Each structure stands twice: as structure tokens, then as C-alpha cells.
Structure 1
Amino acid sequence: MSRDVVTTPSAQARRPRQEETFRKLIDAARETLRGSSYAGLTVRAVAARAEVAPATAYTYFSSKNHLVAEVYLDLVRQVPFFTDVNETRPNRVQQALRSLALVVADEPELAAACTTALLSNDDSVRPVRERIGAEIHQRIKSALGPGADGRTISALEMSYFGALVHAGSGVLTYRQIADRLGYVVGLILGQPT
């Protein structure tokens, strides 16, 4: 399956009111995680904060892992594409990966929750992980520009996701991995950054 086409059938199928409910739940989950831990998060508590019936919340999210994964996807989608042709290719890629790495840098509870949810074996998280991967792929491909080599894209994706595992496990902070990704971009592209 090609990652060049990013589709989110569930988002495409939602009507405006459903999209509004979905957004309320995502925002409520983000706010809840800013004040408490992943362990204390429940879909029911998020539904209450969003003023949505729990049964309705469960029609959108089958588990708290699913909910938190969707929160992370939402954050990734807010990261801009870096396509300024006046910037060098390594700088565009470095900016893209840095922005993606810093998505949860200043929110430790949210970062921990996202790591836990995304690394879970929850079947409902798998399609969200695939959509996150597609978003990362598109941003890297866009930053590289036309004619980007698939192997280069793959190497940058693997570097990015490996860096996230380091940050999620506490080996490095998100800010440290954002800095180190700049160095890795230079190595992969064969140019100093």
C-alpha cells in the first residue's frame, strides 16, 4: 500500500455535528492529560469533561489508547509542511522533523500517554498508527521536494520514529532528539546541516 495518499475514512465519513463532537472529545482528552496522568485517564471522564454522553464517546473511541492515539494524530496534523524552496533541502527536512519531535515536548503527561498508547497492542490503535505514519511520510516527502528517493524517506522515517522511542523511554528529552535529528538529517542527506 502506498503511503502517498493520506486517507482518514472515519474523518471523511463524519458529518459536521459528528466532527464537532469528535473535536470536543479530542480537546477534552488533551486538557485532561495536561492535569493528570495516563493512568487516571478514562474515556468516561473525557466524555464528562466534553459534556458528551459516555456511550457517544465510545462510538468514536473504543479505548483510552485509541483516544490518546487520535490526540497525537491531531497534534501531528497541526505541524506545518516545510516546502520553502529558498531553504536548503536539509534545512527543510530538519525543520519538519524538529517540529514533529517537539509536538509534545512541553507536556510530559501528554507525551507519556502518547508513548504508552502508540506502543500498545490495542487493535484500535493500529489504524491510527498507520495514519500517523502516513502524515510523517508526507511531511518528510514534502520537505525533500520533487523526486525524493524512497530509501531516503524511509531512512528519515526510521530515524524519526527511533528518536521518539528514545524520548518516550526517557533516554533523551524531546528537545534533545529534536537537536540530534538535525545531525542525522545531515548524515542521511550527505550534507552538513
Structure 2
Amino acid sequence: MNLEATRRRLTEKQADTVDKLTRAAMDVLSREGFSGLTVRMVAAQAGVGTATAYTYFSSKEHLVAEMFWRRLAATEAPSGDETDSTERVLEVLRQIALLLADEPTLAGAVTAALLGTDPDVAHLRLRIGGEIRQRLIDALGADSDPETVETLEMIYAGALVRAGMGYASYAEMADLMRKSALRVLRG
């Protein structure tokens, strides 16, 4: 999969370098945690020069946010076979919550990265939020109402921040989001 980078369009060779860096970042993150992760360490792990790595990623937060964006973009939205829009929405929320459920180190890093102030992270937040919004709108179908979509986005964002803060696991948050979303969708 050749995803457009957050800072510019990529040639095939550049896309391969970005892929190497994001794969290496997962290895370094697993070993060092988010606080120990540096772009320099990721570059070394990937066999890429540090200056080259900084050409693509302005910070470790940018790199981690890109990892989440790529994971989200590579995950197809639920099929929509379910005829009930409520069930489709619940499946979208669950799928997004569980993207990181099996990788608590990555999940915590994503939460920290997405809350950062790096302009490249801000750009990715918009892309991520736009993708999630579109999935919710598609799931709601004819029932799509901007206020309902916004409320569902708030449920999702709040649940993931709470999970990132350690209040509950991502799997537990998926269940809590279901309860909250049902209250909104069924009135």
C-alpha cells in the first residue's frame, strides 16, 4: 500500500523509506517505550540516515501519529452488511477502538502523540478525524445527522483518551463506547 505522506507526495523509493521508518519505529517503541523513542533511533534501526528520517517526520510524535494513520487507513471500514444503522455505527466504533487494543505501548504512544502541538501531527489529526467522521456518516446512512455524528465523535475521542490515561483497556473502552453510543442512537 502506498499512502501519501503527511508532508508531501512520495516517489516509490521515498514511500519505501517511509515504510521502513514506520516499521522500525514499532520495533524501537516496543523496546524503548514512547519516552525512549527518538527519530535518530528509528533511523538507525531502519538503516536510514537521521537527516533523511527528519525529511519525512518532524518529530517522534509525527512518526507515531503516522503509524496510527496508516493502520487506520489500511483497515477497511466494516462491510455495512448490517441493515440496522445503529449496529453499523457500533461496529465502526468498536473496530476503531480495537485497532490498538493488543498493543498497549503503541496505544499509549498514539494518545500522547495525537495530543501534541506539532503542526504535522495537527494535519494527521485532521486526516484521522475526517476518516472516522466519514465512517460514522456512512454507517448512519440516511439517519446521518451532524449533531449525532459530532456526539459519536466525542464518545470515541473521550473513550480513547480515557483508555490512553489507563482508566480501562481499549477492549473495555470499546464496550463502554457501545453503551454510550446506544444511549445517543436509541434516545
One fold, TM greater than 0.5? yes
Asked if residue 115 in structure 1 is aligned to residue 114 in structure 2, the reply is: no
Q: 1:31-46 counterparts in 2 under 5 A?
A: 31-46=27-42
Per the TM alignment, residue 71 of structure 1 is displaced from its structure 2 partner at its CA by: 0.9
Are 1:117 and 1:125, in contact at CA under 8 Å, matched by a contact in 2? yes
Distance 1:147-1:173 versus aligned 2 partners, 3 A rule: same
**1:162 partner letter:** G
Aligned counterpart, 2:71 = 75
Per the TM alignment, residue 174 of structure 1 is displaced from its structure 2 partner at its CA by: 0.7
Q: Distance in 1 between matches of 2:170 and 2:63?
A: 22
Describe the superposition over 1:39-86 as per-residue Cα deviations: whole angstroms up to 9, x where unpaired. 111101111111111111100001111111111111221332124244
Are 2:6 and 2:123, in contact at CA under 8 Å, matched by a contact in 1? no
Q: Distance in 2 between matches of 1:88 and 1:80?
A: 19
Asked if residue 54 in structure 1 is aligned to residue 50 in structure 2, the reply is: yes
Q: What runs of 5+ residues in structure 2 fail to find an aligned partner?
A: none
TM, length-normalised to structure 1: 0.88
Tell which deviates more after alignment, 122-131 or 173-182: 122-131
Aligned counterpart, 1:188 = 184
Asked if residue 15 in structure 1 is aligned to residue 8 in structure 2, the reply is: no
Q: Distance in 2 between matches of 1:176 and 1:89?
A: 23
Which of 143, 149, 159 matches 2:145?
Answer: 149
Q: What runs of 5+ residues in structure 1 fail to find an aligned partner?
A: 1-6
Asked if residue 130 in structure 1 is aligned to residue 126 in structure 2, the reply is: yes
**2:151 partner letter:** A
Describe the superposition over 1:111-157 as per-residue Cα deviations: whole angstroms up to 9, x where unpaired. 11111111122233111111111111111112212451111111111
Runs (4 or more) in structure 1 with deviation over 2 Å come to 7-12, 82-87, 121-124
Give the fraction of aligned pairs with identical amino acids, expressed as a percent: 43
Aligned residues: 185
TM, length-normalised to structure 2: 0.90
